[in-house]
């Protein structure tokens, strides 16, 4: 384990990838713990209490999705999946199991560092009083008054549109799956009715995007879900 900043657990069985992550993250001040299997990862997560986990799905003694589910039974540590599996179904399964983000290999170091900063920031905010207002670019969202303005002008939203925007804003920079959005906005039992999300997202984009056909605030992850651009 190296000295420095936030403690990151790298769960990866391929040595070249571990060396790459060790060099890249170590040079940016992160402390590192490494595990090459699901069993080693569970032991390391328990004994070292990492602040962030980078997790490969293809482990020699188990699947990373199942490992994520087990970790979520007792820990809220941010988990970013780093996997060569690029199919939509793999991303959805990992995110629904409790992962906070998903990067497909190969990826750039700068993108990984940006995702890690978002995950660590969200983790630091857990347990703190919720912000009464959220500002993202020209958008100003007053959660208490349920008021949204854009460039100083009020944006009139339906109750569902407001709940949808507030959910995405509270998780700015984090990808949310269709299922996660449905459960939070519409409630349990609507996990398969993804057309609700598409319809209301299109309506929301018409109200807050300069060009709804080329959204810059409400970003789509095809087949997976949506992310509100952070900054």
pLDDT band at 118 (very low <50, low <70, confident <90, very high): confident
Q: What is the mean pLDDT of residues 53-61?
A: 94
Domain of 100, in residue numbers: 7-125
Q: How far apart are CA 2 and CA 49, in angstroms?
A: 15
Last residue of a domain, one of 125, 150, 178: 125
pLDDT of 126 reads: 64
Q: Is 16 exposed, middle or buried (0-12, 13-18, 19+ CB in 10 A)?
A: exposed
The answer, as to whether pTM is greater than 0.85, is: no
pLDDT of 179 reads: 87
Last residue of a domain, one of 94, 125, 156: 125
Q: Give the chain's domain count.
A: 2
Higher pLDDT, 102 or 128: 102
pLDDT of 42 reads: 93
Are residues 121 and 139 located together in one domain of the fold? no
The single-letter DSSP state of residue 130 is P
Domain of residue 154, CATH code = 1.10.10.10
Are residues 98 and 164 located together in one domain of the fold? no
Q: What is the mean pLDDT of residues 144-163?
A: 89
pLDDT of 170 reads: 83
Are residues 21 and 111 located together in one domain of the fold? yes
* Interior angle at CA 46, CA 92 and CA 17, nearest 5: 55
Q: What is the mean pLDDT of residues 23-40?
A: 95
Q: What is the mean pLDDT of residues 128-132?
A: 60
Which residues have C-beta within 8 Å of that of residue 15, sequence separation ≥ 6?
A: none
Backbone angles phi, psi at 47, to 5 degrees: -85, -30
Are residues 119 and 31 located together in one domain of the fold? yes
Give me the half-sphere count of Cα atoms (radius 13 Å) on the Cβ side of residue 213: 0
Which residues have C-beta within 8 Å of that of residue 208, sequence separation ≥ 6?
A: 139, 148, 150, 155, 165, 217, 218
Q: What is the mean pLDDT of residues 144-159?
A: 89
pLDDT band at 30 (very low <50, low <70, confident <90, very high): very high
pLDDT of residue 27 exceeding 90, the answer is: yes
Residue 1 lies inside a defined structural domain of this protein: no
- Distance of alpha carbon 166 from its chain centroid, rounded? 16
Residue bearing tokens 């009715």: 193
pLDDT of residue 103 exceeding 70, the answer is: yes
The DSSP result for 83-122, as a single string, is: ES---HHHHHHHHHHT-SEEEESS--HHHHHHHHHHHHHH
């Amino acid at each position: 384990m190296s000295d420095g900043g936030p403690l990151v657990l790298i769960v990866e069985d391929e040595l070249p990838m571990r060396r790459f992550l060790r060099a890249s993250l170590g040079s940016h001040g992160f402390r590192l713990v490494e595990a090459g299997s699901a069993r080693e990862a569970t032991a390391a997560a328990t004994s070292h209490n990492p602040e962030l986990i980078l997790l490969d799905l293809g482990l020699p003694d188990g699947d990373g999705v199942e490992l994520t589910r087990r970790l979520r039974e007792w820990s809220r540590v941010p988990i970013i999946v780093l996997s060569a599996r690029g199919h939509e179904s793999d991303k959805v399964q990992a995110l629904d199991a409790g992962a906070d983000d998903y990067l497909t290999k190969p990826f750039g170091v700068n993108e990984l560092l940006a995702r890690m900063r978002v995950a660590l920031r969200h983790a630091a905010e857990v347990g703190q009083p919720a912000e009464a207002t959220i500002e993202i670019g020209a958008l100003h969202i007053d959660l208490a008054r349920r008021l949204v303005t854009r460039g100083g002008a009020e944006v009139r939203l339906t109750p569902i549109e407001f709940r949808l925007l507030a959910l995405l804003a509270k998780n700015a920079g984090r990808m949310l799956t269709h299922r996660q959005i449905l459960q939070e906005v519409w409630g349990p039992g609507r996990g398969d009715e993804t057309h609700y999300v598409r319809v209301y997202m299109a309506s929301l984009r018409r109200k807050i995007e300069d060009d709804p056909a080329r959204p810059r605030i409400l970003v789509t992850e095809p087949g997976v879900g949506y992310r509100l651009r952070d900054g």
